[in-house]
Structure 1
Amino acid sequence: MYVTNPNISLPENPDTIVWKYLDLSKFLDLLLSKKLFMSRSDKFEDQYEGTFSEPTFEEIRKLSENNPEFLNYYKSHREKVVVSSWHINEYESFAMWQIFTQNSEGLAIQSTTGRLQKALEAEKKSKQYIGSVKYIDYKKEYIPFDDMFFPFMFKRKSFQYEREIRIISDLSDSQLSINDGVKIDVDIDHLIEKIYIHPKSENWYKKLVIELVSKLGYQIEIEKSDLESDILI
């Protein structure tokens, strides 16, 4: 279920457009299971995920000199936090297609922050929060640690192109088994507003996606990528 946190910022407009770029297998798994995969925070490619900036780490290190468990707790906590990443953008992103899809057979889910909130109402076992990631200089800038979600809502400036909105959940008190991540219940009709097919995909692939979505009983609008538009001379 979606809950708010005053320390986690989110665009005020619920119609703010967000995207998720993924391959066909992950997309079909989402439609078939009606569950959204959330990755364990320490499994991301960014090794700094869920860690603190240098100024903050120095403060925590001093506080933990007489209490080593204090620092160990922060290290182990990354294994209990799960994340689903979305890209905030009014338009499609050529860069996101390149990074998150392969072999010209990817898809992009278009949604809004408001739709994400409604979609999460289907999940009854755990609480989810939604917030915008802040991009900072990890050598100079300070990350507060008075809220356990703060280290997961900051990333290095090198990742600023991601413009990330993330669904995040702390499963520390849950009995769920977390390997690479967990799947949570979502309302697909609220989650997905439109589907965009990879701009470089072939016609057979476009037809396959349309047929699969229809046979699974979904009435989701499927769009041709804007990057595939005809050239006007």
Structure 2
Amino acid sequence: MYINNSNITLPEDPNTIVWKYLDLSKFLDMLLSRQLFMSRSDKFEDQYEGTFSEPTFEEIKKIAANNPKFLDYYKSHREKVVISSWHINEYESFAMWQIFTQNTEGLAIQTTIGKLKEALYPEKKVEQYIGEVKYIDYKKEYIPFDDTFFPFLFKRKSFQYEREVRIISDVTSNNLKIDNGLKIDVDLSLLIEKIYIHPKSENWYKNLVIELVKKLGYDITIEKSDLESDILI
């Protein structure tokens, strides 16, 4: 179950398709633990993650002139926010396969916004929010800072291809020490609608994934990527 926040926007249609591209080891860890890994926000490759655009930062600096702790809070806050990223797309994305799977042994989880919401259990430790990322010009556009989640729902325009939806949790009030991330309980039978195997993978690999999923007690539809269909000529 996710917590609704009227300031956080999402596509209205619950049947909007979303994807998560990952390697086999992370996928198996998810199945074995029955949990979803959320990465600490300052561990992402994008160094701007959870930071502010220039117009917003100028405003924050004025406030911080009389209250230095105000700026320190935003700097340290990134260590207390964890994120699980998903990609909105009706179809598979060739770019996502290339960027988020390191070799031909990658997988893609397909689900919907509605199922993503339903699959989250109420967490005793942390609350979860789901929001769509907005892509802006960090030199010109303003990011509101009246909500501590806002910096994590904006990215630079150069990342527009990600079309990202995020599950976000803030563990500040829970006194949790986060190293690389945090695992949260999820209903995987609800979460995973279908699994797609990397388009460049061999048939033996697809059969291995099918066997592993079955032995772990899951009934999940597994398909070879549509990007590797037979050429008609």
TM bucket normalised to smaller: over 0.9
Q: Partner of 1:26 in structure 2?
A: 26
Provide, for residues 113-166 of structure 1, a one-character-per-residue CA deviation record: whole Å limited to 9, x for no partner: 111111102534321000100000000000011111110000000111100000
Match runs of 1:36-55 below 5 Å: 36-55=36-55
SS of the equivalent of 2:2 reads coil
Which whole-Å CA distance do the structure 2 matches of 1:124 and 1:118 have between them? 17
Which whole-Å CA distance do the structure 2 matches of 1:105 and 1:172 have between them? 36
Preserved CA contact (<8 Å) 2:34 2:187 = yes
Q: Partner of 2:67 in structure 1?
A: 67
| Code of the aligned partner of 1:55 | P
Preserved CA contact (<8 Å) 1:122 1:186 = no
TM-score by length of 2: 0.98
Match runs of 1:143-154 below 5 Å: 143-154=143-154
- CA 1:186 to 1:122, structure 2 compared with 1: closer, same or farther past 3 Å? farther
SS of the equivalent of 2:174 reads coil
Which whole-Å CA distance do the structure 1 matches of 2:184 and 2:157 have between them? 30
| Code of the aligned partner of 1:27 | F
Which whole-Å CA distance do the structure 2 matches of 1:224 and 1:122 have between them? 34
Q: Partner of 2:142 in structure 1?
A: 142
SS of the equivalent of 1:173 reads helix
Percentage of identical aligned residues: 80
Which whole-Å CA distance do the structure 2 matches of 1:123 and 1:148 have between them? 20
SS of the equivalent of 1:4 reads coil
| Code of the aligned partner of 2:119 | A
- Does 1:231 find its partner at 2:215? no
| RMSD (CA atoms) | 0.9
SS of the equivalent of 1:121 reads coil
Which whole-Å CA distance do the structure 2 matches of 1:149 and 1:202 have between them? 42
Q: Report the alpha carbon displacement of residue 55 of structure 1 after superposing the two structures with TM.
A: 0.3
Match runs of 1:83-102 below 5 Å: 83-102=83-102
Which whole-Å CA distance do the structure 2 matches of 1:87 and 1:102 have between them? 17
Which whole-Å CA distance do the structure 2 matches of 1:114 and 1:122 have between them? 16
Preserved CA contact (<8 Å) 2:40 2:178 = yes
**Divergent runs of 4+, >4 A:** none
Q: Partner of 2:195 in structure 1?
A: 195
Query: Alignment length, in residue pairs?
Result: 233
Q: Report the alpha carbon displacement of residue 201 of structure 1 after superposing the two structures with TM.
A: 0.2
Structure 2 residue runs without a partner (length 5+): none
Structure 1 residue runs without a partner (length 5+): none
